[in-house]
Amino acid sequence: MQSGTRLSSQPKVSYRGSDVAVTFQGLTYRCHRQHYDKLRTLYDRSDRGNKSFVSALFCLLCRYDMLQGAGLQSAIPGGVFDWLFREFRCTMECFASPLNSRYERYCSAFLDTDASFGSA
């Protein structure tokens, strides 16, 4: 590395229509703007320590991209969640991810990347 050349220490976010791209050191991950907004809300509600939102988002997208759709995003229908809330006042999911959680409180498979977004 040449003297005076600095690598970016934070991922960069760019917007194009309804897509959001997060890029860091040549790797780019994309998500829909609705997912981005949801993740921002979850992040703002959680205890995130020292990690910035953009860094946490990049790590999360990298982790779930690595799984390549391994079927971890399945969920019960919304009507079932509504029934569970009405009948039992359930407000926490046992098996979710920041990408598919219905409630603010949930448990996910990857606490290291998902805790910044509210996973317990």
pLDDT in tens, 72-84: 556 788 899 999 9
CA pair distance 36, 99, nearest whole angstrom:
9
Q: Check residue 9 and give its pLDDT.
A: 85
Q: How far is CA 21 from CA 26, 76, 107, in A?
A: 12, 29, 26
pTM of the model: 0.82
> Any bridge partners for residue 62, and if so which?
none
Owning domain of residue 43: 12-117
| Residue 42 main-chain phi, psi, to 5 deg | -60, -40
Asked whether residue 58 is assigned to any structural domain, the reply reads yes
Contact 110, 118 (CB under 8 A): no
Number of domains into which the chain is organized: 1
Q: Check residue 1 and give its pLDDT.
A: 45
Asked whether residue 99 is assigned to any structural domain, the reply reads yes
Asked whether residue 100 is assigned to any structural domain, the reply reads yes
Q: Check residue 8 and give its pLDDT.
A: 63
Give the pLDDT confidence of 98-118 residue by residue, as tens digits. 998 988 889 999 999 999 999
Q: What is the pLDDT along the chain (120 residues), one digit of tens a residue?
A: 444 555 568 899 999 999 999 999 999 999 999 999 999 999 999 866 667 999 999 999 999 998 876 555 567 888 999 999 999 999 999 989 999 898 888 999 999 999 999 999
Asked whether residue 3 is assigned to any structural domain, the reply reads no
Asked whether residue 5 is assigned to any structural domain, the reply reads no
Asked whether residue 6 is assigned to any structural domain, the reply reads no
Asked whether residue 66 is assigned to any structural domain, the reply reads yes
Asked whether residue 95 is assigned to any structural domain, the reply reads yes
Q: Check residue 51 and give its pLDDT.
A: 74
